[in-house]
Amino acid sequence: MAKKFWPRGVMPALVTPFDPKFEVDEEALRRLVDWVIERGVSAVVPCGTTGEFVNMRIEERRRVYDIVIDHVNGRVPVIAGTGDASTQVAVELTKYAEDAGADAALVVTPFYMGLTDKEVYEHYEKIASSVELPILMYNIPQVTGVWIPWWVAEGLGKEISNIVGIKDSSGSMPYMMTLIEKLYGVISIICGYDEIAMAALASGADGLILASANVIPDVWVEIYDAVKNRRDLDHARELHRKYQTLLRFIARFGGPLAVKRALWMMGLDVGYVRRPLMVGGAYPYEVEDEMRRRLEGYGLIPRMPVEFELEPGRVYRCDYPATSYTHPKIRDFTLRVGEAFTSPSMADVAHVDLMLGRKDGPVGKAFEEALKNPRPGHEPRIVELDGREVKPRTLLIPTVTIRTERHAKLVYGPAMAGVARAVVEAVEGGLIPRELVDELVMIAHVFVHPTACNPTRIMLNNYKAVNHALKKALEDRPTLGELMERKESARHPFRYEP
């Protein structure tokens, strides 16, 4: 039986913008809809998992349907997220979406209660029989606790005319391949897990409903076109590999939070998340720092001219990757401090406390004093790369007492290499004007755990930590506003007391 609606292409799982009072921000939602449609998406999906539907009241979800349907105005299909733990509520929401003009409904499996196959089947059967609206099943067992077994999906897809697709966000390629085996050409098969999306498309999936399509919709459109239309798998693979870190952050660290922070960094403010989600919780601070670095590398964070005023009348400019944190003029280089923590691998974590200042100021004096009077077990080293001192001149001081030759080799080897790389790239990448490199110095207190074992990871973690700490030093972060916003989730990222 031919289905009257066949979802395909790239479909962003829209975040729901909330204002500072945690109410739906209509204007921000309308801006987001325009943002993704202008970048070529095939449909939009409000009130899904990324849209925080589970933290929204019924009337709010209805309002979001109305706003999105009104603003889309027929430009692309609207697939409304109408799922709920209650079959009755899901029916009511699906009926509302149908009356409001949605093109289809995305219905997640009921959560909280452990359901049998029969209960899952009859849940979808009841909803589908209550409306004429096309229905997409939604499998996301990592949050619902319930799978849609392939045989249940097969039966529903073949027996019920207005069940037109299934979105699978499990991240399981074996499950995805089974759906393709059993239902290819019967209903639309949609991948909802960002990290396997290209592989799913290449294997036969019809489309993508992704959180990351809020952030990089044009990239996903290019990947989809490369796989489905141009048969250029090499190009699609290269794009997916390039953006894999961003996809991992979004898929694994509090989806809506990661998406909202990324869009904010890119200059599109889509507001706050609702509790229980919070920055520093499901979405760690160090992930935010690293996501910013990645977005800069992709060219997604705009650059703006920033003035560095070393002293009155001496102003230097550079092209700085700027967010709302960035000041147009950076003054007072007496003492600037920044701190950052990076992982993975708790054994190989990096924690850097950074001081930046004028060579002829207190930081310069501390630099020279540390060299003249080294503490046993914390001997400082001037940071070098390929046998040459980096500029600005930088001093590495171990945080943890060095007691073994092996520990010393890791601190003054890969950890120092990471620090050196970060300093060199800070100048090359426009974080520090070249005109200032001989007038500034830095001191980096570097943490390398005595049980650290992976030189590559130690180098990379310290490279990233210095990059993050330097931006915080230049931007006077955390700001008072950040501290107040995050006071409930504030914590020191790592503490070690040998």
Catalytic positions, written as ranges: 138, 167
Radius of gyration of the chain (CA): 26
Helix, strand, or coil here: 327? coil
Taking a C-beta distance cutoff of 8 angstroms, is the pair 105, 124 a contact?
no
Q: Which of 4, 7, 72 is nearest to 208 (CA)?
A: 7
* Sheet with strand 440-447: strands edge to edge: 336-342, 350-358, 440-447, 393-398, 381-382
**Helix (DSSP H) and strand (DSSP E) numbers for the chain:** 17, 17
- Residue 494, amino acid: F
Rounded to whole angstroms, the Cα distance separating 18 from 26 reads 9
* N- to C-terminal Cα separation, the chain: 69
Rounded to whole angstroms, the Cα distance separating 398 from 142 reads 41
Measured CA to CA in angstroms, residue 167 lies from 13, 192, 303 at distances of 11, 6, 37
Rounded to whole angstroms, the Cα distance separating 364 from 393 reads 10
Q: Which of 216, 198, 215 is nearest to 207 (CA)?
A: 198
Question: 389-418 in b/e burial notation, b at 16+ Cβ within 10 A?
Answer: ebbbbbbbbbbbebeeeebeebbbebbbbb
From start to end of 126-270, where are the E strands? 135-139, 163-168, 188-191, 207-210
Helix, strand, or coil here: 395? strand
DSSP 8-state secondary structure symbol assigned to residue 110: P
| Phi, then psi, of 10 in degrees rounded to 5 | -105, 125
Rounded to whole angstroms, the Cα distance separating 320 from 317 reads 9
| DSSP codes joined into one string, 418-464 | HHHHHHHHHHHTTSS-GGGTTTEEEEEEEE--TT---HHHHHHHHHH
DSSP 8-state secondary structure symbol assigned to residue 103: S
* Token pair belonging to 213: 């399509």
